[in-house]
Amino acid sequence: MRRAAFTLPDPAPNDTGSAAAPRSDWATLGRLFPYLWHYRWRVLLALGFMVGAKLANVAVPLLLKRLVDSMSIAPGDVRALLVVPVGLLLAYGGLRLCTSLFTELRELVFAKATEGAARSISLQVFRHLHSLSLRFHLERQTGGMTRDIERGTRGVHSLISYSLYSIIPTLIEVVLVLSLLGLKFDAWFAGITAFALVFYIGFTVTVTEWRTKFRKTMNELDSKAHTKAIDSLLNYETVKYFNNEDYEAGRYNESLESLRRAKLKSQSTLSLLNSGQQFIIATALVGMLWRATEGVAAGRMTLGDLVMINAFMIQLYIPLNFLGVIYREIKQALTDLEKMFGLLEREREIDDAPDAAVLQVHDGHLRFEHVGFAYDPARPILHDVSFEVPPGKKVAVVGPSGAGKSTLARLLFRFYDVGAGRITIDGQDIRSVTQSSLRQAIGIVPQDTVLFNDTVEYNIAYGRPGASRAEVEAAARAAHIHNFIVSTPLGYDTMVGERGLKLSGGEKQRIAIARTLLKNPPVLIFDEATSALDSANERAIQAELASAARNKTALVIAHRLSTVVDAHEILVMEGGRIVERGTHAQLLAAAGRYARMWALQQSGGSE
């Protein structure tokens, strides 16, 4: 009823509300590298195990060649019973064991680096999002943003897994195989292999780059569908109030249909990629085996050489067969990481000054000095607002909707910085102190109370994490909600539901009051603190709030004038300006704007 002044603002010039310019893949990898470099010794050890696994793997075809060539022993020769079984079982089994052992050791050693990097990035993004301005959080789309963070975190695992466990090992194996073929046979074998690899990789990269736009479109539509679903579920009651279940289902179905078409497009292009890869691999295999078979027939090569070449090609092309999938997943992981790093690069509209000090509260003397402010430069909200709240005093701000009353609280919490003038606490400009110490010194009971989907005790104790159950109960008693809590089956362990929807408006507001009473800060803001309460509870809690505000600085934002008649000073705001000020009696005697508001409310009307 009073929120018209707080319109959805346009992005400020220094706010990065729009998407950041796409970065290159190398730039994204550069952002990831420091997180992995923290575990550099594990990275180097894992690379060592990886090289060992590939050396053992490449040695297997060499062993097979020797074993096949050793079969030239005449039938019935007793050496065949000793040489062949023992050599095959021990050497072949040992090499296979080494391949598997080194692979598992690599994954074991590098797991801590992967999980550590993912944890560090996720935590940094989480902290950064909390440090961003209120403007950003008013404009965000929660469902899409959480999807981006989820995919980004998964992208860390995918990128490391596919690059370290697939791409790099395959490159090592390719170099080893090409070297062996070039040294042991004529240049045709190395040439056919190299040509096929170059053509295969070129085809894969080209088609995958072409497919990336379809994949990006699919992800964007996925995020959009997820956003609509989350937004609809968060506003469950509103959907029910207006009987719009079918409308919401229709909107969601439109998003799902667009997503379905995008997925089909992505799948059809994937089939094209896979078919082309198989054609290149089959052509190269035929060429290599034809050359090897001709060599055996001409006596230039042994049967063991043919077996070895065939084994090399199978070992080499099996991982290459998945190169398209791997490359696509790496590209997608880089895209997802880019989006998450983009969140990290959003500038903080409100940041601590480099030399910011900790706020030192002595008396809690609050001053607004010639404050001017606008969410949008084209539409100023506050004009030259000046007032003070002396220590131990209660100052109330009243006025019609859109007057700018709630903006005062947001500026005091430094969700935005003033455009002109300054705000001080005990003579300290709030822009010169740390935001943490400033907000620690202020408590607020908001009109619109939002609770965590947790227990009643958790939500009250949120005012001072670590408070004991006895302290929580004392705050609940002061807020006149203890009796209600203990009357429920689970008491203080009762879950309040998403955004506190299991509770009534009055119950949520009393929990908010208890939470602020538990925090016990030197500066208090009551923003329609009893608006959702009935008259009997309002009178009882008003006494508790008056007691809690004793010897504290209290700023009260009110719509019902009956709640502020005891204020030491009442400020009447209209159009972002203070048009009247004085005590209740003085303002009534002045027969001005306040007196008309009082008469209207006393007669049962409202503004």
- Residue 369, classed as helix, strand or coil, is strand
Q: Of the spans 16-20, 124-128, 149-153, 410-414, which averages the highest pLDDT?
A: 410-414
Most confident of the ranges 19-23, 495-499, 582-586: 582-586
**Residue 297 vs residues 67, 82, 289, 292: alpha-carbon distances, Å:** 20, 30, 12, 9
- Confirm if 455 and 492 have CB atoms less than 8 A apart: yes
Q: Check: CB of residue 221 under 8 Å from CB of residue 258.
A: yes
Tell me how far apart the alpha carbons of residues 473 and 492 are, in angstroms, rounded to a whole number: 9
Looking at residue 7, what DSSP letter applies? Answer: -
Beta bridge partners of 309: none
Closest CA to 397 of 521, 525, 522: 525
- Please count the other Cβ atoms lying within 10 Å of the Cβ belonging to residue 379: 12
Rounded CA-CA distance 514/522 in Å is 16
Nearest CA to 433 among 350, 522, 351, 352?
352
> How distant, in Å, are the alpha carbons of 309, 444, 458, 470, 472 from that of 454?
64, 20, 6, 19, 15
Q: Is the pLDDT of residue 484 over 80?
A: yes
CB 530 within 8 A of CB 508: no
The rounded mean pLDDT for the chain is: 78
Secondary structure class of 159 (helix, strand, coil) = helix
Question: What CATH number belongs to 17-344?
Answer: 1.20.1560.10
CA–chain centroid gap for 260, Å, is 26
User: 522 CB contacts (<8 Å, ≥6 apart)?
Assistant: 361, 364, 441, 552, 553
In a 3-state reduction of DSSP, which class is residue 604?
A: coil
List, in sequence order, the alpha helices (H) in 298-403. 303-321, 323-344
Predicted model pTM: 0.59
pLDDT for the residue 25: 67
- pLDDT score recorded for residue 3: 38
Reported as a single tens digit per residue, the pLDDT across 421-465 is 999 999 999 999 998 899 889 888 887 777 888 898 999 998 888
Q: At how many degrees (to 10) do helices 168-184 and 40-69 cross?
A: 40
pLDDT band of residue 15 (cuts 50, 70, 90) is very low
Q: How far apart (Å, rounded) are the C-alpha atoms in residues 463 and 181?
A: 71
pLDDT of residue 8: 34
Tell whether the model's pLDDT for residue 248 goes beyond 70: yes
Q: Any residues with CB less than 8 A from the CB of 127 and at least 6 apart, and which?
A: none
Q: State which H helix or E strand residue 428 sits in.
A: strand 428-429
For the stretch 79-112, pLDDT in tens is: 555 555 566 557 767 777 877 787 778 777 777 7
For the chain, the C-alpha Rg in angstroms (whole number) is 35
Label residue 19 by pLDDT band (50, 70, 90): very low
Torsion of CA 198, 200, 206, 210, to 10 degrees: -170
For residue 76, what are its two tokens?
Answer: 């019935």
Are 351 and 430 contacting, i.e. CB atoms less than 8 angstroms apart? no
Helix H or strand E encompassing 368: strand 366-373
| pLDDT at position 147 | 67
Look at residue 530 in the predicted model and tell me its pLDDT.
64
| Per-residue model confidence (pLDDT) at position 2 | 38
Reported for 77-81, long-range contacts at CB under 8 A and 24+ positions apart, including other chains, are none
pLDDT band at 72 (very low <50, low <70, confident <90, very high): low
Nearest to 445 by CA among 566, 352, 371, 548: 548
* Higher per-residue pLDDT: 190 or 81: 190
533: confidence class by pLDDT, cuts 50, 70, 90: low
User: Has residue 311 got a pLDDT over 90?
Assistant: no
pLDDT tens for each residue of 340-368: 777 777 777 777 888 889 999 888 899 99
Counting residues of the chain whose pLDDT is more than 70, the rounded percentage is 83
Write out the residue limits of the CATH 3.40.50.300 domain(s) in the chain: 448-520
Task: Report the b/e string of 30-62 with b at 16+ CB within 10 A.
Answer: ebbeebbeebeebbebbbebbbbbbbbbbbbbb
Averaged over 306-335, what is the pLDDT? 74
Architecture of domain 448-520: 3-Layer(aba) Sandwich (3.40)
Phi, psi of 422 (to 5 degrees): -160, 160
Q: How many CA atoms lie within 13 A of 401 on its CB side?
A: 8
DSSP per position, 275-325: HHHHHHHHHHHHHHHHHHHHHHHTTSS-HHHHHHHHHHHHHHHHHHHTHHH
Q: With beta carbons less than 8 A apart as the criterion, state whether 507 and 515 touch.
A: no
Range 492-512 average pLDDT? 82
Residues 569-594: what's their mean pLDDT? 91
Q: Which residues pair with 444 in a beta bridge?
A: 525
Q: Where along the chain do the CATH 1.20.1560.10 domains lie?
A: 17-344
Q: What is the per-residue pLDDT for 7?
A: 36
Least confident of 8-17, 189-198, 445-454, 533-542: 8-17
- Residue 93, class by beta-carbon neighbours within 10 Å (0-12 exposed, 13-18 middle, 19+ buried)? exposed
Query: What are the backbone dihedrals phi and psi of residue 508, each rounded to the nearest 5 degrees, phi first?
Result: -60, -40
pLDDT of residue 252: 87
Given this model, what pLDDT does residue 386 score? 93
Task: State residue 164's pLDDT score.
Answer: 67
- pLDDT band at 572, cuts 50/70/90? very high
Distance CA 292, CA 294 (A): 5
Mean pLDDT within 276-294? 81
Give pLDDT, residue 579.
92
CA distances from residue 238 to 132, 232, 324, 499 in whole angstroms, order as listed:
29, 9, 46, 14
Q: Give the pLDDT of residue 17.
A: 37
Q: Average pLDDT for residues 588-594, to the nearest whole number?
A: 90
Alpha helices in 132-244 (DSSP H): 134-139, 142-162, 168-184, 187-234, 236-241
pLDDT of residue 11: 38
Q: What are phi and psi of 243, to 5 degrees?
A: 55, 45
Give mean pLDDT, residues 281-306.
79
Q: Is the pLDDT of residue 21 over 60?
A: no
Range name among 12-16, 262-266, 567-571, 594-598 with the lowest pLDDT average: 12-16
Tokens standing for residue 227: 């956003």
Instruction: Say if residues 449 and 526 touch (Cβ distance below 8 Å).
Output: no
